[in-house]
Amino acid sequence: MNYPVIIAGGGPVGLLLAFDLGRAGVPAVVLEERVEHHANEHVGTFHSRLVDVFTERGLLDKLGEQPKWPALHFGMVWLDLTKLESEYNLLVSQTAIERMLQAQAAEAGADVRRGHTVTGYSQDDSGVTVQVRCADGDYELRGAYLVGCDGRDSLVRELAGIGVSRRGKSWYGILGDFASYDGEFEAGVRAGGVFGALPEGTGRWRLQTVEFDIQAPPESVPPTSEELMRNIKRVTGEDKKVGEPLWIRRYAGTTQLAERYREGRVFIAGEAAHHYVPTASHGLNTGLGDAVNLAWKLAAAVKGWAPEGLLDSYHAERHVAGFRACQAAQAQMALIHPLEKVEALREVVADLVKIDEVNYRLATWSTDIEYPVRAEGDLPIVGHRVPHVPLKTDCGDSGTGEALAGGRGVVFDLSRGAQLGDLSGWQDRVDVVRAQPAEELDAPALLVRPDGWVVWAGDDAQGLAAALTTWFGDPSTN
């Protein structure tokens, strides 16, 4: 076995997966066909839940200072995030995310190989053999598991025989930074689609069009300023002049969802599993959610303590999340196009979002794609991600986020004296944090998975032991 886990694709999802596996003590190899990172890539919108995920891992600090952006749209109808302290976005360059994750994954023990393309694989009962091509020639790697984080046209998915369902409108976007532009700032919906023109300082402009149900040129044709000018004319009806592109990219697609996320020892995550219109700002957030859900389960399987069904829970949980993100993205497209048919609907929705509850529901629906997790207990916190709250622990001031920093399960004992039983059999997998009761958590004790989900709350030893066995396997006896 060369590596316990082989990851095809070194985009943000593959790299975060490798980082999480590394901090769980499982080295992975990441095979990425691109030699270089994209130059000046688009920004990704980091939603508040993802900020929690990165904070727990110490990754947010590594990205440097990122101003909060208290704005979010739903189908280009603007929501008011200033009313919601817990919901906000960060705007982070995707290239910056990839570079940071690559460095951190390598530091955590991953072997990141750029310029290495996965060309095929086969699996058997004991592992996966992967064929790789690089400048020095072809070679093979053997691993226990293969994860396809290889994007929308995933070869790993295709060779696993996993089909995709495609539905709804197609989109065609073009985006880039340009040396000059003879127009004004704007960002919104026009008759032909979405148009954005943002001054970037020093005379540069970031320009973008998104159109729907229009055939994009083939990928073999490089995007140009002329193509963007034609698109601006179609979207706005106006003739605009743009200068030379400093960088430019075209993107096109249709909403797609893989029919399953696992085939034996092969898994898929990120855009390999689901693909939505970028305007909806779900792709990165949902993909990174896949990575953190899968990493600790794979690590448990590699280390030999994964209880039955743990690996299957990845599909059970994340396929629902992918489906809901598809729905949310499609609903957003339905609010945008064709404008002459949806204008009245947009006005109604714009009026409705002035109601705080509607604003809140749409914002949290966008920033936090919830999915059901098998969980025990009647308390409201069960089956949700544990919020970041400060705690007064036996070892001093800390918080729930800090407790999850180790990437292990955590029992929070806030009961001051409940008999939770002997937990020593799980101490190699689960930490116990004793703290004073915390109003926000509203439970005597909680069991939280390494990915932050509360899977049990209560005060009975039997219930806790059962939940620990469900998620962390049998207790060890030594």
By the 8 A CB rule, do 325 and 319 touch?
A: no
Contacts of 354 (CB under 8 A, 6+ apart): none
Which range in 42-50, 369-377, 420-428, 448-456 contacts ligand FAD by CB under 6 A?
42-50
By the 8 A CB rule, do 118 and 70 touch?
A: no
Q: Is 51 in the site for ligand FAD (CB under 6 A)?
A: no
Q: Is 94 in the site for ligand FAD (CB under 6 A)?
A: yes
Cβ-count burial of 101 within 10 angstroms (0-12 exposed, 13-18 middle, 19+ buried)?
Answer: buried
Q: Is 193 in the site for ligand FAD (CB under 6 A)?
A: no
- The DSSP code for 4 is E
Q: Is 281 in the site for ligand FAD (CB under 6 A)?
A: yes
By the 8 A CB rule, do 81 and 70 touch?
A: yes
- Cα separation, 57 vs 24, whole angstroms: 12
Which range in 55-63, 277-285, 442-450, 463-471 contacts ligand FAD by CB under 6 A?
277-285
Which range in 145-153, 164-172, 211-219, 443-451 contacts ligand FAD by CB under 6 A?
145-153
Q: Is 81 in the site for ligand FAD (CB under 6 A)?
A: no
Q: Is 45 in the site for ligand FAD (CB under 6 A)?
A: yes
Amino acid at 200: E
Q: Shortest distance, CB of residue 283 to ligand FAD, whole angstroms?
A: 2
Which range in 280-288, 302-310, 371-379, 459-467 contacts ligand FAD by CB under 6 A?
280-288
Name the token pair of 210. Answer: 């998104």
3-state secondary structure (DSSP) of residue 474: coil
Q: Is 13 in the site for ligand FAD (CB under 6 A)?
A: yes
Binding mask 112-131 for ligand FAD (x = CB under 6 A): -----xx-------------
Binding mask 246-265 for ligand FAD (x = CB under 6 A): -----x--------------
Q: Is the peptide bond before 27 cis (omega within 30 degrees of 0)?
A: no
Which range in 139-147, 281-289, 427-435, 449-457 contacts ligand FAD by CB under 6 A?
281-289
Contacts of 220 (CB under 8 A, 6+ apart): none
Count of residues near ligand FAD by CB under 6 A: 32
Contacts of 298 (CB under 8 A, 6+ apart): 5, 21, 26, 145, 147, 267, 311
Q: Shortest distance, CB of residue 139 to ligand FAD, whole angstroms?
A: 13
Q: Which residues bind ligand FAD (CB under 6 A)?
A: 8-14, 31-34, 42, 44-45, 94, 117-118, 149-151, 155, 175, 251, 270-271, 278, 281-285, 287
